């Protein structure tokens, strides 16, 4: 990995980037890569079911908890640049305003790598909206004729998709495995910050071990204990095969 690659992560809800990419994010930060994470929505309506069990809890209180949790998780991963855009979720709507805001963000941060939701999640329409939005904004951002203040057009980014929760039903296909053995303790610490979705901590711990098994099998690198997988929106182009 070249340490200079700039990584932008766009997460539909407050915890998605942790479950699905927390180890990779921490790994890039350890290597010194500039990393920015945008949380589009706190997931107050759609991803806080446990919090709503408290009698009389208000949307504002749920939002406060979710906001605290995601900043705590970001800290555990070493993220210094987390933005919460606090859009409504369920449904999260990809308005023209949101589109413009994200294009400007792309123009200013200028990522090499764009991590977000994969094209299809069979159980989560918000994820699908965000996937399409992020891709569309990347194309707009790349185009010289789209004028956003004093920014220059970006170059084609590598776009990679998070694993959805039920992968096979979502037609997810791993395009790469990132070794997160070194950053896995940070991912565990970050996952522990989410009170509302505690049942997912073991799930994504097991998942990281499973992906580690797959990565060892395909690469022959026995040192990989934990991994995260991502879909690749495009093939790579370079000087040789990656094996």
Q: Of 83 and 210, which has the nearer Cβ to a copy of itself?
A: 210
CB of 141 within 8 A of CB of 183? no
Q: Of 9 and 73, which has the nearer Cβ to a copy of itself?
A: 9
Show the tokens assigned to 81. 């640049």
CA distance 46 to 122: 15
| Interaction residues for a copy of itself, span 86-105 (CB under 8 A) | 90-91, 99
Q: Which of 124, 131, 183, 197 binds a copy of itself (CB under 8 A)?
A: 124
Q: How many CB atoms lie within 10 A of CB 135?
A: 17
**Is 213 an interacting residue with respect to a copy of itself (CB under 8 A)?**
yes
Q: Which of 32, 56, 149, 238 binds a copy of itself (CB under 8 A)?
A: 238
Nearest approach, Cβ of residue 224 and a copy of itself (Å): 7
**Is 235 an interacting residue with respect to a copy of itself (CB under 8 A)?**
yes
CA distance 223 to 179: 9
Nearest approach, Cβ of residue 160 and a copy of itself (Å): 6
Strand pairing partners for 203?
Answer: none
**Is 179 an interacting residue with respect to a copy of itself (CB under 8 A)?**
yes
DSSP state string for 153-210: PPPPPEEEEEPPSSTGGGT----EEEE-TTTHHHHHHHHTT-GGGTHHHHHHHHHHHH
**Is 61 an interacting residue with respect to a copy of itself (CB under 8 A)?**
no
**Is 162 an interacting residue with respect to a copy of itself (CB under 8 A)?**
no
**Is 35 an interacting residue with respect to a copy of itself (CB under 8 A)?**
no
Show the tokens assigned to 178. 């990132």
Nearest approach, Cβ of residue 193 and a copy of itself (Å): 19
C-alpha dihedral (22, 26, 29, 31), degrees to nearest 10: -130
Nearest approach, Cβ of residue 76 and a copy of itself (Å): 21
Nearest approach, Cβ of residue 87 and a copy of itself (Å): 14
């Amino acid at each position: 990995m070249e340490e200079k690659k700039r990584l932008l992560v766009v997460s539909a809800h407050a915890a998605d980037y942790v479950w699905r990419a927390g180890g990779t994010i921490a790994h890039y930060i350890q290597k010194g890569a500039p990393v920015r994470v945008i949380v589009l929505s706190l997931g107050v309506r759609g991803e806080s079911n446990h919090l709503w069990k408290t009698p009389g809890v208000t949307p504002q209180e749920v939002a406060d908890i979710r906001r605290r949790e995601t900043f705590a998780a970001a800290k555990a991963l070493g993220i210094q640049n987390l933005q919460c855009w606090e859009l409504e979720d369920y449904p999260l709507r990809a308005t023209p305003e949101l589109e413009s805001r994200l294009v400007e963000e792309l123009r200013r941060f200028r990522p090499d790598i764009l991590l977000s939701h994969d094209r299809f999640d069979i159980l989560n329409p918000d994820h699908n909206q965000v996937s399409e939005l992020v891709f569309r904004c990347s194309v707009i951002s790349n185009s010289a004729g789209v004028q956003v203040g004093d920014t220059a057009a970006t170059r084609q980014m590598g776009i990679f998709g998070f694993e959805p929760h039920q992968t096979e039903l979502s037609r997810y296909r791993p395009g790469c495995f990132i070794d997160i053995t070194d950053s896995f303790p940070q991912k565990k610490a970050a996952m522990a910050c989410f009170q509302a979705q505690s049942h997912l901590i073991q799930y994504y711990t097991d998942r990281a071990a499973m992906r580690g098994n797959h990565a060892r099998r395909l690469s022959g690198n026995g040192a990989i204990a934990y991994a995260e997988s991502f879909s690749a929106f495009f093939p790579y182009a370079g000087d040789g095969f990656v094996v």
